[in-house]
Amino acid sequence: MKQEKKMTLTLPAEELMACGHLACQGCGATLAMRYMLKALGQKTALCIPACCWAVIDGPYPYSSMDVPIYHCAFETAAATATGVKAGLEMTGDKETTVVAWAGDGGTFDIGLQALSGAAERNEDIIYVCYDNEAYMNTGIQRSSATPYGAWTTTTPVKHFKNRPKKDIVAIMAAHRIPYIATASISHPEDFFKKMKKAKDIKGTRFFHVYAPCPTGWKSRPEDTVKLARMAVQNAYFPLYEIEDGDKVTLNLKLKDKKPVNDYIRIQGRFRHLTEAQVASIQAEVDARWERLLKSC
């Protein structure tokens, strides 16, 4: 009698998301949320400012999620989460993990003050920035997370974004918070492991999660995971942790770093770039990677 083989699941089976939600086809941000909740479990409270996820979980009076959510004002994710954590603790709940879940706009730009304030006070929250590199929910406008060279509606091809992406991890490291990690939706087990580790740490924990957006990047929806993987493998988005502001741990060493061009070529938002511009991107990625290696 042939043994019934079970499906290999490298993550817990339980889902805290119901179907019927409003994410685009192939949305990276949705995968990010799905993996985070698998690590944190149901005793989690989310504070979500204006971003794609403000809409994905459903309009009033619906929610696709099995965890409580406060939809908060755009710049207040970290401040709201701070308040929620304090309120829960004062009413006897010291177990629920409070998460500020924001996009790159609500983190790098308008939400930066509240994030910096909370981090400086070492508030006991997990702040997750899922980064799709622009203000996607409002229709693809540039943020300070938009990389050099990218088209957005406010950095059109003739004036593409010519400033580098803000280094949010370095900014957070300067606050000397207990834990910072980068993660990618292409490496869910790595994300899961780090989130589980973060769950048990007290103080401000910050995650920078790479979440490709086919709608905004003008890429094929089926390439979402592939793009995130390429970004990791070409060191455009390396996977590492920083503890207490300076202890750097590289999670994935890259033996053969792949060229950035392969990753750039399959995204419409970079289509206008010349070889020279791509080469400058490659040089920047290489330099950043070398600096990271030196800091470990």
Least distance in angstroms from the C-beta of 7 to another protein: 4
Q: What angle do CA 253, 258, 260 make, to 5 degrees?
A: 120
Instruction: Judge if the upstream peptide bond of residue 61 is cis by omega within 30 degrees of 0.
Output: yes
Least distance in angstroms from the C-beta of 51 to another protein: 12
Distance of CA 100 to the CA centre of its chain: 12
Comparison of 81 and 169: residue with beta carbon closer to another protein: 81
Comparison of 27 and 140: residue with beta carbon closer to another protein: 27
Least distance in angstroms from the C-beta of 188 to another protein: 6
3-state secondary structure 167-232: CHHHHHHCCCCCEEEEEECCCHHHHHHHHHHHHCCCCCEEEEEECCCHHHHCCCHHHHHHHHHHHH
CB 128 within 8 A of CB 100: yes
Least distance in angstroms from the C-beta of 45 to another protein: 6
Least distance in angstroms from the C-beta of 68 to another protein: 4
Comparison of 44 and 155: residue with beta carbon closer to another protein: 44
Comparison of 62 and 279: residue with beta carbon closer to another protein: 62
Comparison of 231 and 285: residue with beta carbon closer to another protein: 231
Comparison of 220 and 257: residue with beta carbon closer to another protein: 220
- Output Rg (C-alpha) for the chain, integer angstroms: 19
Between CA 36 and CA 101 the distance in angstroms is 10
Least distance in angstroms from the C-beta of 127 to another protein: 14
Comparison of 85 and 165: residue with beta carbon closer to another protein: 85
CB 86 within 8 A of CB 45: no
Instruction: Give every CB contact of residue 37 below 8 A, 6+ residues apart in sequence.
Output: 16, 17, 44, 65, 67
**Which is nearest to 79 in space by CA: 91, 87, 68, 67?**
87
Between CA 254 and CA 238 the distance in angstroms is 9
Least distance in angstroms from the C-beta of 69 to another protein: 4
CB 258 within 8 A of CB 286: no
